[in-house]
Copies of this chain bind each other. A is one copy, B any other.
Amino acid sequence: MNDVFADRVVTGSEDRLAEMFGGSLGENGIKFSAGNPNSELFPIAQMKQAFNKAIDKSGSQIFEYQTVSGFEKLRERLAQWAGQTADINITADNILVTQGGQQALDLIGKLMLNAGDEIVVEAPTYVGALSAFDQYDPCYYDVEMDDDGINLEQLELVLQAHPNIKLLYTVPDFHNPTGVTLSFRKREKLVELAERYDFFILEDTPYRDLRYKGIKLPAIKSFDRHGRVLYVSSFSKILMPGLRVGWVAADKILIERLRKLKTSSDLETPGIVLAALDQYMENNDLSKHIAEMLPTYRSRLEAMLAVLDKTMPTDVRYTRPEGGFFIWLTLPEVIDAQKLLSEICIPKDRISFVPGKVFYAQRNRKNGMRLNFSGVDEEQIKVGITKLAKSIRSAITANKVGAVL
């Protein structure tokens, strides 16, 4: 039956996203594998009120067909938000509201990528982006991540070797999966490179406002002078993922094209959801809501770093993020994180993480893992990471005496 499917389905993509989640952990399992915000922090009462107000205010109109772009008033709020939180100077016309950040990535791939088109991604990078781009069958070039973001020397070598590169995809703030943040200097420099080597930058930054220490940096897009940066953000991490609201900010000519592609893809995002979000932002202070969440996430990050410091063998390295949801842990090269997960951590320890392989476009590295700290409490962190450290230590020892893991 395979000949009925398009090539993109057969050869383009395994199910990268589904692969992230291993077997079942049972009731008392500890999940470091999720990418979820803490649902205890959701402003449910306010959101319920917002839905009711949206319906009371607009009546049946809100359940008619709306506009593909998203309401102008909401886009004005987002433009203001982009100015306030990311130093980006845009208007409502520069914005397209999307079905979560994921649809923004899909539409940008649809807009720009022919089969075989060349694109640079970080190694590792966000698996959902690979999953979206895979559909358009591009040619990926990996560039290493340093502690201050993508390695620019290596990037420049890649750009010189491949002058047709069209797009660079980056998660500059509290990177998924590594937690690393791109430095100020590198942000400025990336835009220079985009102009010199004639490519676009897709800046994907759902975690931007979740900074627990250090100083906020301007967005890459704030350095953009010639419309080379497409900025993607989302309400999934700062408010609620179930709303499925994200947005792209870019030059009008790009937004116009993306709007047409969204029309063909799903006509529009449900008006009632956008109207409720608009009401929520009208009647509540989103910045204050975010500020109130930060202490919980900060404590969890600090708790996880403290247990890692205390328990991990010296040949295991890990990042020290200043925000976001994730810490990235690098095992000695001989250890396969996928095997560790499926053979020991899930069945014996009843803990889960995401093995690193899925985050590499080439799937060529096996010794990394992504640990989520936002969705687990401090007790779970203490118990789970201690078990993980013990299992890693055993695996390293076993490996040294010749067993294969």
Q: Show the binding face of A for B, using Cβ within 8 Å.
A: 1, 4-9, 13, 15, 17-18, 36, 39-40, 42, 44, 47-48, 51-52, 55-56, 59-66, 98-100, 102-103, 106, 110-114, 117, 128, 131-132, 134-136, 166, 200, 240-244, 253, 257, 260-261, 263-273
Q: Do A272 and B260 touch (CB < 8 A)?
A: no
Q: How far is the CA of A37 from the CA of B4 in the complex (A)?
A: 35
Cβ of B36 and Cβ of A63 under 8 Å apart?
Answer: no
Contact, CB under 8 Å: B128 / A4:
no
Asked if residues B63 and A241 are in contact (CB atoms below 8 Å), the reply is: yes
Are A263 and B47 interface neighbours, CB within 8 A? no
Residues of B within 8 A of A114 (CB): 6-8
Q: List 17 A-B contacts (CB under 8 A).
A: A6-B110, A9-B261, A13-B260, A18-B260, A39-B60, A40-B60, A42-B63, A51-B52, A64-B242, A66-B242, A99-B267, A99-B269, A102-B264, A103-B266, A128-B267, A265-B265, A270-B270
**Residue in chain B with minimal CB distance to A40:** B60
Write out the residue numbers on chain B whose beta carbons fall within 8 Å of the beta carbon of A243. Answer: 63, 270, 272
In the complex, the 6 A-B pairs of residues with the closest C-beta atoms, listed nearest first: A63-B242, A63-B240, A99-B266, A39-B60, A103-B266, A42-B60
Give A336 Cβ to nearest chain B Cβ, in Å.
25
The interface residues of chain B lying within 8 Å CB-to-CB of A17 are 263-264, 267
Contact: A244 with B265, CB < 8 Å? no
Chain B nearest Cβ from A248, distance in angstroms:
13
Closest CB-CB distance, A199 to chain B, in whole Å? Answer: 9
Q: Name the one of B44, B98, B268 contacting A63, with C-beta atoms under 8 angstroms.
A: B44
Bound together, the chains give a CA A1 to CA B261 distance in angstroms of: 17
Q: A42-B60, A51-B55, A63-B243 are in contact. List 16 more A-B contacts (CB 8 A).
A: A6-B113, A6-B117, A9-B111, A13-B264, A15-B260, A17-B263, A39-B64, A44-B59, A48-B52, A52-B52, A65-B241, A99-B266, A102-B264, A131-B264, A242-B271, A270-B270
